[in-house]
Structure 1
Amino acid sequence: MTRSVWLKADDDVGDWEARKRRITAGLEAGVDWVLVDQRDVGRVRDLGQVNVAAFAGDDVHVMDAEETEQAEADAVVVGKDGEGDGTIDLPSDFSGSADLTTLRRTDGATGAYVRILDSEYETLAEEAARDADYTIVVGEDWQIIPLENLIARIGEETDLVAGVQTAEEARTAFETLELGADAVLLDSDDPDEIRATVDARDATQRERLDLQRATVTAVEQTGSADRVCVDTASMLEHDEGMLVGSMSRGLFFVHAETADSPYVASRPFRVNAGAVHAYVRTPGGETKYLAELKSGDEVQVVDTDGNTREAIVGRAKIEKRPMFRVEAELENGDRIETLLQNAETIKVATADGRRAVTDLEEGDDLLVYYEAVARHFGEAVEESIIEK
């Protein structure tokens, strides 16, 4: 499931300058949607590229053709200043709801905005979800039970968006009933809270890999080869690196160059990953050859606990360097190998901690990722392939 973060930035937030500050913070953090009143749609598009949802019913000044195009929202949301937020009393028969009638008559992508004031408003949200592409529910004092009820009752015909005020509430919303909400609508001015909410979104979509140990069976010099340094556009942590290897079924954990040495300053954005032929793991469980990497590509960064995230390649630097061949055996008897540069700055994760490739010995335990699959153009396939 792809999660998203919506940022509330309508008139309730304050004047345009206050709304603008919030929207700008959201754009810088990487929110997916901004929810505003209709008259602000064009203003948001002037600030940056983001999906814009607009509450229906707001008066707009007379616009020329270009302004009209700019003011077209990506989704129209009903419910504000109506039955959805309790401004107008709910009808005794939901079939007579003005909000639902407006929702059904609106062209394009639609959303329903419902404050969950009691069980009747839960029912209204359920009814709206039948027609709305996005169903936004805002609990009073952020109650989990109504959200659990709606997650259980609402099907895949709508994206359920839970109103939250903090990143912690967002994490809970994404995890509720294990399935979680499809999105959250954040109501906060705090840039740190906005960034943390985006981080919570990203965390729900990351793989966690089961890394294991393999015993080194050979370390030998092989002469020079074309090796690849992957310089990312991110600062990497001390326990992070990439998974690389000569065989797609078994990839070695290679540390980022986060540590200083007597020979060279740290390069905490870099992984000296190996020879051009080797595989590197990328998001979504795929691989690429190191030689294929170029600026703008995504690679998967992994830490020693198996937690992953994505990083953008800033550049891939290929140079001829002396290499080691490293071979290791897994518990199942399978042997895997890779080529790594013969240099003190290239480090792998052993049972005793970080160790330079130049200090590796037979019997050391290395951290690896193993999956008994073959690959075709980077994707796992069910076929027999022999790699030597």
Structure 2
Amino acid sequence: MPQVWFKAVPFDKTSVTLALESGVDALIAPADRVDEIRALGRVQVLAENEMETICLEQKADEEQAVHCLRTQGKVLLRLGWEIIPVENILAQGNGLGVEVASLDQARLAAGILERGVDFVVVLPEAVQELKAIVAALKLSEGRLDLDTARIEEITPVGLGHRVCVDTCSLLRTGQGMLVGNSSAFTFLVHAETEDNPYVAARPFRINAGAVHAYTLLPRDRTAYLGEISAGREVLVVDAQGRTSLAVVGRAKIEIRPLILIVAVCGERRGTIFLQNAETIRLVRPDGTPVSVVALAPGDEVLCRLDTAGRHFGMAISEEISEA
């Protein structure tokens, strides 16, 4: 997804403060205000004369933009850009940004050629939509297709190292992480949003599974749960497949009793090791969480099917079997 920048020209302190609080990646400002803004937070700030800016009006402008990408590494297209010229420029290099004046324009820019521009620059007239733009472009990766799996077996297997992923976000009922013994078959493991008589809810936490398990990350990557650490982004998914990003506050690895859950979806078979405790839940097709203690063969839970084959977390085309 593209970075989100804000153009603080003309300078307005209220708008700059909102931009910083919204979590923009960079600001463009009048040259005499750059140092003032840099003192407010750790964020990239560029003087407006530092960014090569082009208005696309004719074919020569498109060619100039491509030249700038190749020689300077970045170029910004002024408001009024059209999709076809942007596609032509995107196909020839990285570092392209476009000005946007609304959430709809930002979403459009993020989807061009299915990869989007590298950054959008939100203009002052769209400052009221800035938080929505940041949320749409930085805190979401769209919607994933989820499937329904049928539980076949639940078996206690002894002790093992499991990972609690504590995020910097408060999650809601229906949300969790996609985890499994194979990247081709992951289960929606629910966050600890539910109270019970013995343990208070911890809605920032996903007790995600054993250290060796895969979890789906942003940008269609995976990682082993044992690799998750503070500061990393993880992908949060809800029962409808809607995604959001969360920053990891800490990952707790502890030895706990585990259970092996086996499920089938169509002709595919998936497995996962989870802690054997009432607070660990999967998600039913209707979006309600179900404790692993209450699961029984024949119950249905949400899962995601994918193609097998990962190398350092990236999808590859390779014949592979994971049992």
State if a TM-score over 0.5 links the two structures.
yes
Query: The residue matched to 2:163 in structure 1 has which SS?
Result: strand
Deviations, residues 2-51 of structure 1 (Å, cap 9, x unaligned): 423231212x34xxxxx333223212222233222222222233233333
CA drift of 1:271 comes to 0.6
Q: Could you tell me which amino acid in structure 1 is paired with residue 43 of structure 2?
A: V
Residues 314 and 367 of structure 1, relative CA distance in 2, 3 Å threshold: same
1:161 counterpart residue number: 98
For residues 290 and 148 of structure 1, the distance between their equivalents in structure 2, rounded to whole angstroms, comes to: 40
Q: How does 1:219-258 map to 2 (within 5 A)?
A: 219-258=154-193
Paired residue type of 2:266: E
Quote the residue 2:77 is aligned against.
136
Q: Secondary structure at the match of 2:37?
A: helix
Paired with 2:315 and 2:27, the residues of 1 have a C-alpha distance of 37
Gaps of 5+ in 2: 69-73
Contact 1:241 1:253 in 2 (8 A): yes
Match of 1:322 in 2: 257
* CA displacement at 1:382 relative to structure 2: 4.3
Task: Verify the 8 A CA contact 2:87 2:112 in the aligned structure 1.
Answer: no
1:44 to 2:43 alignment: no
Alignment: residue pair count: 315
Deviations 1:79-99, CA, capped at 9 Å, x for gaps? xxxxxxxxxxxxxxxxxxxxx
CA distance in 2, matches of 1:172, 1:153: 16
* Counterpart selection for 1:346 from 256, 262, 280: 280
Equivalent pairs: percent with the same residue? Answer: 40
Instruction: Decide whether aligned partners of structure 1 residues 163 and 122 sit closer, same or farther in structure 2, where only a CA change above 3 A counts.
Output: farther
Report 1:30-179 matches (<5 A): 30-56=23-49, 76-77=50-51, 111-112=52-53, 114=55, 121=57, 125-126=61-62, 128-132=64-68, 133-139=74-80, 147-148=82-83, 150-151=85-86, 154=89, 156=92, 159-164=96-101, 166-175=102-111
Tell me by how many angstroms 1:213 deviates.
Answer: 1.5
Please tell me whether residue 197 in structure 1 is matched to residue 133 in structure 2.
Answer: yes
User: In the alignment, is residue 292 of structure 1 matched against residue 240 of structure 2?
Assistant: no
Q: Pick from 301, 304, 310: which aligns with 1:369?
A: 304
Q: Deviations over 1:129-186 (max 9, x none)?
A: 25443233134xxxxxx5346435655457241241x434433454578776554332
Provide closer, same or farther for how the CA distance between residues 343 and 138 of structure 1 changes in structure 2, counting only shifts above 3 A: same
Residue 125 of structure 2 is aligned to residue 184 of structure 1: no
Q: Distance in 2 between matches of 1:220 and 1:282?
A: 28
What letter matches 2:7 in structure 1? K
CA–CA separation in structure 2 for the residues paired with 1:268 and 1:288:
22
SS of residue in 1 equivalent to 2:229: coil
Q: Which residue of 1 aligns with 2:4?
A: 5
Aligned partner of 1:307 in structure 2 is: 242
Q: The residue matched to 2:298 in structure 1 has which SS?
A: coil
What TM-score do you get using the length of structure 1 for normalisation?
0.71
- Provide the alpha-carbon RMSD of the alignment: 3.0
Structure 1, unaligned stretches of length 5 or more? 14-18, 57-75, 78-110, 140-145
Higher RCO, 1 vs 2 (CA within 8 Å, ≥6 residues apart): 2
TM-score with structure 2 setting the length: 0.83
